[in-house]
Chain A
Amino acid sequence: MEKKTGIFEKIWFWIIIAFFYLPILYVVFFSFNKSKSLTNFTGFSLRWYERMFESRPILEAIGYTVACAVIATVVSTIAGTITAIGLSKSRKVLREAIHQVNNLPMLNPDIVTAIGFMLFFTSLRIETGFWTMVLAHIAFCIPYVILSVTPKLRSLDPNMAEAALDLGCTPFQALWKVIVPQIRPGILSGALIAFSMSFDDFVISLFTTGPGVSNISIYVYGNVKRVNPTINALSAILVFVITAVLIIVNVIPMIRERRKGKNVSAEMAEGGAR
C-alpha cells in the first residue's frame, strides 16, 4: 500500500472514530447530570454514582458478572488448552470432527445456541440459575480457547516433548514444563477472549440464568424501559475501568517494543560503525 494519506482520508477516519466514541462520551457525560433527564444537562452531580453504589441489584449484577467471567475463563482456558494439546496429537478425523462441532456455537446466532442450552437444562429438570449460566459460558468459551491455542501448537517442534519424555520426564512434566511454556501467548490470548466474551455476554446469559440472577447486560436490558440514570453511572464506571485496563494492556507492550526497536537500531548502528 502507498503511504500517502490525504486530508480527506484523515477527515473520513476521524468521522468514523467520532461515530464510534459518541455514545460512550454521551453516556459518561450524562452520568454526571443533576437531573434524571437523558437529553438535558442541568448541572454537575455525583448522585447517580451514589445511587448506583446503594443499589443492591446493580452490585449483585456486577458480582455475578465478574464471578461468572472469572470461573468461565479459568475453566475454559484449562479445558481448552488440554483439548487443543490432545487434538494436536490425535488423528485427523477426530480433529476435523471436533473442529466442525466447535463451529456450531461460533457460527450459529447466539440466540440459537442460547435456546439450545435453555431447552437442554429444563429438559433435564436442572434448575436454571448462576451455575447453569456459568456452564453455558464455559461451553461457548472453550471453542475460542482451542482456536487461539491450536496455531501455537502447530508451530511447536514435536520432538521437544519426545525428548523431555526420553530424558525422564513424566508426561505431566513434559506437558507443564515443555509444551505449556511454548504456547503461553496462545493460552493468554485465549483466556482474554474468553473473559471478554463472558463478561459482555447478554443473549446466552439471558436464556440460561434463573430468577434473581442477572449479569450486567441482563440488568441493563431489564431496566431500559424506565428512565434510569444509574445505568449511566454503571456504564461510565465500566467505561473507566475497561479503558484503564486496555490502556495498560496495549500501551505497555507498545512502549516496550519501541524501546526494543530503539535498542535494536542502536545496536545495528553500532554494528555498522564497527
Chain B
Amino acid sequence: MKSFSKMVYPYVLWAVIMIIVPMLMIVLYAFTVEGNDVLTFQFTLNNFSRFFSDPVFPTVLWRSLKMAFFTTVICILIGYPTAYVIARNAPSKQAVMVLLITLPMWINMLVRTYAWRGILSHVHMSGEIKVYIGMVYNFLPFMILQIYTALSKIDPALITAAHDLGADNVQTFRRVTLPLSLSGIVSGITLVFLPAVSSFFIPKFLGGGRYVLIGNLIEDYFISTGDWNFGSAISLIMAIIILISMYVTRKLDRQPAEQEDD
C-alpha cells in the first residue's frame, strides 16, 4: 500500500511549478521595476503608490467591489426564493427543475452575454444597469444551486417539529429554515462575488466601453499597455481584498454553528 503513496510525488512537483511558482511570479512582478531580468531584480513599492495616488484606480476598485457586492445581494434576493420553490416540490420534479437551471450554464458565458447585448439594444438604459443584468444573469445559477443544495438537506421533520411546537410559518422560516440554509448562501456568495469582482468581458460587452472595472484594468495593463509590473500590482491588491472578504464571509457561516454547539 505504501507504494501507492509515491504516486503523489509527480503532482507535488507539478503543483509547485504550475501553481505556486506562477503565483510567486505575480508577487515578484508587483514589487519590482519594469524590464528586470530573471537574475537582477530591482525592488520597488512604486507600483502600489502609483495605484493609490492616482484617484482613477481606487475609484475603479471601489466601483468593482460595489458592483460585485450588489450583484451578490441581488443574486441572494432572487436566488433564495427560487431555490426555496424548487425544494418545495416533489423530489422527481426537483431533479427536472435543477436540470432546467443548469442547462444554460453549459453554453459558453461569452455567447450568452453577447446575446444579451442584442436583447438590451432594444431598450434604453444606462450601461451600468446593463452590466448588472449581465452579471446577475451569469452568476445567479450558482447561487440558486448552492442554496438549493443546503435547503434539500434540511430534514423535513425539523419543520414539522417547529410547527408542532407552535411556530408559525414566518417563525419556522426565520428560526429553522434560514439558519440551516446559511451555509448554502455563504458558498453561493463565494461563487458569485469572486467572479463578479474580476469579471471583465461582461462590462466590456454590455457597458458600452465606458464602464471600466478592475478586471478591465488588469487586462489592459497586460494585453494592451504591456506594463506587467503595474498590472501585477493591481491583481495582487484585488487578490488580497478578495481573500479578506472571503475570510469574513466564512466567519459569518461559522458563528451560528458555534452558537449551536453551546
Contact = CB atoms under 8 A, between A and B. Distances in A.
Where chain B touches its partner, the secondary structure class is helix
Interface stretch (B48-56, B116-124, B253-261): B116-124
Interface of A: 1-5, 9-10, 12-13, 16-17, 19-24, 26-27, 30, 38-39, 79, 82-83, 85-91, 94, 98, 101-102, 104-105, 107-113, 115-120, 123, 135, 139, 142, 158, 161-162, 165, 171, 175, 196, 200, 202-203, 206-207, 216-217, 220-221, 224, 231, 234-235, 238-239, 242-243, 246, 250, 254
B20 interface: yes
Given A13-B97, A110-B198, A200-B108, A224 B231 contact: no
A109 B198 contact: yes
B158 to A, nearest CB: 10
B128 interface: no
A98 B23 CA distance: 15
28 contacts: A3-B88, A16-B101, A16-B140, A17-B101, A20-B101, A23-B112, A23-B113, A23-B116, A27-B111, A83-B10, A86-B6, A86-B8, A102-B15, A107-B246, A108-B239, A109-B198, A109-B238, A110-B198, A112-B235, A116-B22, A119-B25, A119-B228, A120-B18, A139-B18, A161-B4, A231-B114, A238-B107, A238-B111
Interface in B77-104: 78, 81-82, 85-90, 95, 97, 99-101, 103-104
Nearest to B116: A23
Contact of A94 (B8, B108, B109): B8
A119 B29 contact: yes
Interface string B216-240: 0011001100001001100100110
Contact of A139 (B6, B9, B19, B204): B19
B188 interface: no
